[in-house]
């Protein structure tokens, strides 16, 4: 029993530590945006026309750190909804690495089609969201003369560069790290004891699988992507279910969004939209599979 508890705790710590560098870099970026930059105004790389493309490309990299960064930048209104969705949809956490290292030829050959589907979906959803939400209001970026506030709500204008761009981001990153660690521990125990039940549930009928896999993918824990990928590797889950589950698998990005409890309606809307996109792509893949069988 104690071995299982220590195992879950150890993995929760490791998963949280993987995100910490991204948290620190994200807060450094926020400090820069709020204090010094002239290079990131209306046509900047974070919110310009290329933002969904860059977000989709970053999300494809097998980790969840970029989804954490995107979620926090979105919560601060530094990026648009389309850029956020492009990162969240493209993120597949540890699934791609697991499929490539599984020794299963079928799973390995499925990586390229999977990455292509995730990338195209992320790109399409990102630009569609930006097109629909053309009037979306974003935070004003600093011009180097005025201080518009900091991540903690305090004015750091009198702080040295070391304190402003190193110490303060480090403290903020540690605060979020603690929050992420608690969430990882909670979901770690939940997934540890429910893993077999979820895996069995994923083995439903072909047309039912995307519905369940998309819901499993929403669980903000790396175990969700592992279960979805492993179910596909073992032949219990179809490619359609795999796509649906990984389209909704946004890693810890959703955890960061839901930390802002005052925006629960916004967060719920984002989750439901993400789930709907996962279902749409999953059932589209299922239809193509049936058509060419």
Ranges of beta strands (E only) in the chain are none
Query: In the prediction, which pLDDT does 285 show?
Result: 95
Q: Is-contact 234 247, C-beta < 8 A?
A: no
Select from 117, 22, 8 the least CA-distant residue to 66: 22
Select from 59, 76, 43 the least CA-distant residue to 172: 76
pTM of the model: 0.79
pLDDT, tens digit (0-9, with 9 covering 90-100), for 54-78: 999 988 987 777 888 899 889 989 8
Instruction: State the number of CA atoms in the 13 A half-sphere of 57 facing the CB.
Output: 5
Q: Which of 46-50, 72-76, 194-198 has the lowest mean pLDDT?
A: 194-198
Query: In the prediction, which pLDDT does 26 show?
Result: 75
pLDDT classification of 252: cutoffs 50, 70, 90: confident
| Diameter of the chain measured on Cα atoms | 67
The whole-angstrom separation of Cα 293 and Cα 284 is 14
Q: Is-contact 217 278, C-beta < 8 A?
A: yes
Show me where the domains of the chain are located.
2-291
pLDDT, tens digit (0-9, with 9 covering 90-100), for 145-179: 443 434 444 444 556 677 777 888 888 888 878 87
The whole-angstrom separation of Cα 180 and Cα 170 is 15
pLDDT (mean) for 16-25? 82
User: In degrees rounded to 5, what are phi and psi of residue 235?
Assistant: 85, 10
Select from 111, 66, 113 the least CA-distant residue to 91: 66
């Amino acid at each position: 029993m104690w071995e299982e508890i220590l195992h879950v705790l150890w993995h929760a710590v490791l998963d949280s530590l993987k995100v910490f560098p991204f948290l620190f870099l994200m807060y450094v970026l926020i400090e820069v945006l709020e204090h010094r930059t002239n290079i990131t105004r209306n046509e900047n790389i974070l919110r310009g026309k290329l933002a969904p493309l860059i977000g989709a490309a970053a999300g494809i990299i097998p980790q969840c750190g970029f989804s954490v960064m995107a979620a926090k930048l979105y919560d601060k209104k530094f990026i648009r909804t389309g850029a956020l969705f492009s990162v969240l949809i493209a993120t597949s956490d540890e699934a791609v690495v697991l499929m490539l290292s599984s020794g299963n030829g079928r799973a390995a050959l499925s990586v390229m089609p999977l990455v292509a589907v995730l990338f195209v979906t992320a790109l399409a959803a990102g630009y569609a969201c930006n097109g629909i939400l053309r009037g979306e209001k974003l935070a004003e970026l600093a011009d180097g003369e005025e201080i518009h506030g900091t991540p903690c709500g305090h004015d750091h204008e009198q702080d040295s560069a070391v304190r402003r761009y190193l110490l303060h981001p480090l403290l903020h990153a540690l605060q979020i790290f603690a929050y992420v660690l608690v969430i990882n521990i909670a979901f770690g125990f939940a997934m540890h004891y429910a893993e077999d039940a979820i895996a069995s549930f994923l083995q439903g009928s072909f047309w039912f699988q995307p519905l369940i896999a998309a819901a499993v993918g929403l669980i903000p824990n790396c175990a969700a992507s592992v279960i979805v990928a492993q179910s596909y590797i073992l032949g219990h889950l179809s490619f359609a279910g795999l796509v649906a589950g990984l389209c909704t698998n946004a890693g810890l990005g959703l955890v960061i969004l839901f930390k802002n409890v005052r925006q629960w309606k916004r967060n719920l809307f984002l989750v439901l939209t993400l789930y709907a996109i996962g279902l749409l792509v999953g059932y589209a893949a299922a239809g193509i599979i049936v058509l060419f069988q």
